[in-house]
Amino acid sequence: MTHIHNGADGFAATALDGFCDVHAHLVQRIRSGVMRATATPDGKVAVVIGGGSGHYPAFAGYVGPGLADAAVAGDVFASPSAKAVYDVCKRADRGGGVLLMFGNYAGDVLNFNIAAERLRREGIDTRIVAITDDIASAREPARRRGIAGDLLVLKLAAAAAEAGQPLDEVARIARHANDRTRSFGVAFGGCTLPGAEAPLFSVPAGHMALGLGIHGEPGIDEVAILRAGDLATLLVGRLLDDMPAGAGTHVAAVLNGLGGTKQEELFVLWTSVAAGLRNAGLESIRPEVGEFITSLDMEGCSLSLTWLDDTLEPLWTAPCESAALTRGPTIPTTPAPRVEEAADQAAAWAPSSPASRSAGRAVAEAMSLLAATLDGAEAELGRIDARAGDGDHGRGMACGSAAGARAARDAATGGAGAGDVLTAAADAWAHRAGGTSGALWGLGLQSAGRAIGNQGDPSAVDVAHAARTALDAVMRLGGARPGDKTLVDALLPFVETLERESANGATLARAWHAAVQVATTAADRTADLLPRIGRARPLAARSKGHPDAGAVSLALCARTILKMMEHENV
């Protein structure tokens, strides 16, 4: 359990503040992450990594000479927002382009890609490599998630960037390294989010979970705990069974502790892992044993192997210096100028009509009600999400809606129209919540805001059109379809009903009431579905019989707005 904190909401940011203070010779704090405190030459490829917090030393612990130029930090187990990724990349860019690397999780893929598109529009050449090393998460390599293999791929690509290689070559090496990296892990006990009283999952006494995830996802199977020698045989055997084509005999090996397993235990295990590798004819080059990609206080470990070749081996042994990994001679550096963060400027709202400003105040009131409702539902939504996901949905929805409510209030107070109030809430929600749900709610609210505009009092038909615009954006960029067991399964019937009822002349409240009923039923029926995308997909069977947290929260939000409409006789 995570005992030391000043409140769950500020845990990740406060931990990052402390980390940067301790390691000020290597890193400096910037908004949404950290970057090197040492200067890098103009024209160097900027290697930017990131993901949710709770995995220390990933990701901030790998910023430094020979490794990453910067790291983006989301909340605990939640991907950083697209704005956060964009802001950090803008700081890190030195004119040589940007390579973005992260674990292959839906929220990270969505947010990092949105940020990359914006960077490219501004003329910054940006490449993306989503790391896919976890063989337990999918048969198809492209659908696998990233776990401790993140470190290996980062080290190899970053060494190439440090040597002055151009972006094309650095990106090629990153993809090549990812193709040759495999990981498999086990867990003896679950992890507990800061402020929570129970772990996200548990393992029966005397058993271990196979194929764990690093966001609190439970394993894909449970077996009796093995002795060290037998556990090593299991780990090595699983990786050898999935050996990449053309693999050689030299490997980079990382035996990784997940946060609650002692270093001495890992050393005991390594003796048998090393013997297993030798017996398979493999030579381990500069192996690493310790905590490299953790999951808060999870008990367990993972083994990662990268099959090296003539290109990768010298990159693996190349010098580097960071808070968590240092090897070889010190790379000469000079201090970089300290980053001065500009104060946020007051927003300039588009011209709006009195009716739209009045509607904007109603939107702000609705956002406040949503925030209160989602704060009260945080634990339950997290419990639902933890059935097959990582349990962060409740936290993300509570934090995102609270930020959205503050932004909406400020916009409405500042005289913004309904459209601008919605888009202000969207940006704040997405940035604070992070993760897949934060990105999708940000996209949906932003699209709805643009559709509503800032002139006139929106009619029921206008609201239905805005809801359709939001749905289209979520499906286009999020990739979900009906039956995938996501919020789309509740949002689609909600929108269709809202359109039909409003087109038939129903008032907004009556149309919304009918749509809420349909959406609530649809959310409940997601219990019968198996997830086909996202973090829950590898553990699909575990979610059978339980509704999707995203669909449930969407229906809950719709019901909350209905209460406001009925009270005000909209």
Please list the active-site residues. Answer: 215
Which positions ≥6 away from 158 have C-beta within 8 Å?
Answer: 47, 66, 67, 68, 320
301: left (phi over 0), alpha (psi -120 to 50) or beta: beta
Residue keyed to tokens 């940000």:
442
Other beta carbons within 10 angstroms of residue 281's beta carbon come to 7
Which positions ≥6 away from 17 have C-beta within 8 Å?
Answer: 29
Pair of tokens at residue 327: 């090897």
- Burial of 3: CB neighbours in 10 Å, binned 0-12, 13-18, 19+: exposed
Q: Does residue 160 sit in helix, strand or coil?
A: helix
- Burial of 479: CB neighbours in 10 Å, binned 0-12, 13-18, 19+: middle
Give the ranges where 280-392 is alpha helix by DSSP (H).
Answer: 312-316, 354-376, 378-385
The CA distances from residue 400 to 33, 365, 405, 445, 510, in Å, are 18, 16, 9, 12, 28
DSSP annotation of 63: B
Rg (CA), the chain: 24
Q: What angle do CA 389, 377, 426 make, to 5 degrees?
A: 80
The letter for the amino acid at 518 is V
User: How far is C-alpha 474 from the chain's CA centre?
Assistant: 17
The letter for the amino acid at 277 is L
Q: Does residue 234 sit in helix, strand or coil?
A: helix
Q: How far is residue 152's CA from residue 131's CA, in Å, rounded to a whole number?
A: 10
Q: Are 280 and 247 in contact (CB under 8 A)?
A: no
